[in-house]
């Protein structure tokens, strides 16, 4: 694991966070929930051990879409910055695109292809999965 840290935050700058080391997973998710939460065709996630993550500012607002699932966003600008799942209490998922340097943690797998928008093109070099299981480290 790398000792290097990286920072990121929301559109307006009210939410800032820091991650340290390497993520346990880096995914590109095509599920309907990610699309609706972000307004995009997919969401890139970097999943870190909770001990490798810290809020540098006030924490985000949490929206619980179902029991045990929290979407974390800025209460001012609405940017989706993170995701928590009760079944994975030791992980913090961050939206890779909110990092100051999103190229640092590129996705290594595309997930939830069974919900992908039909006209969306997949990355030709990434493995993919029709779903993602709860025991995986992915979103």
pLDDT digits (tens, 9 = 90+) for 17-37: 999 999 999 999 999 999 999
Q: Is 112 left (phi over 0), alpha (psi -120 to 50) or beta?
A: left
pTM value > 0.85? yes
User: In the chain, what are the domains?
Assistant: 5-115 (2.170.150.70)
Q: Is the pLDDT of residue 5 over 60?
A: yes
pLDDT of residue 135: 44
- Is residue 67 a contact partner of residue 87, using CB atoms and an 8 Å limit? no
In angstroms, the CA 40 to CA 25 distance is 21
pLDDT digits (tens, 9 = 90+) for 91-138: 999 999 999 999 999 999 999 999 999 999 999 999 888 888 544 444
Nearest Cα to 98, choosing from 40, 50, 49, 51?
40
pLDDT of residue 129: 86
Q: Is the pLDDT of residue 1 over 60?
A: no
């Amino acid at each position: 694991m790398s000792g290097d840290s990286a920072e990121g935050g929301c559109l307006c700058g009210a939410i800032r966070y820091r991650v340290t080391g390497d993520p346990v997973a880096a995914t590109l998710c095509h599920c309907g929930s990610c699309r609706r939460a972000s307004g995009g065709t997919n969401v890139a996630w970097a999943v870190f051990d909770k001990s490798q993550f810290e809020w540098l500012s006030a924490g985000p607002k949490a929206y619980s879409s179902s029991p045990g699932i929290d979407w974390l966003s800025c209460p001012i600008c609405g940017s989706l910055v993170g995701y928590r799942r009760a079944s994975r209490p030791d992980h913090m998922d961050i939206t890779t695109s909110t990092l100051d340097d999103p190229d640092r943690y590129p996705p290594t797998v595309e997930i939830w292809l069974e919900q992908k928008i039909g006209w969306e093109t997949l990355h030709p070099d990434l493995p993919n999965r029709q779903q993602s299981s709860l025991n995986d480290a992915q979103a």
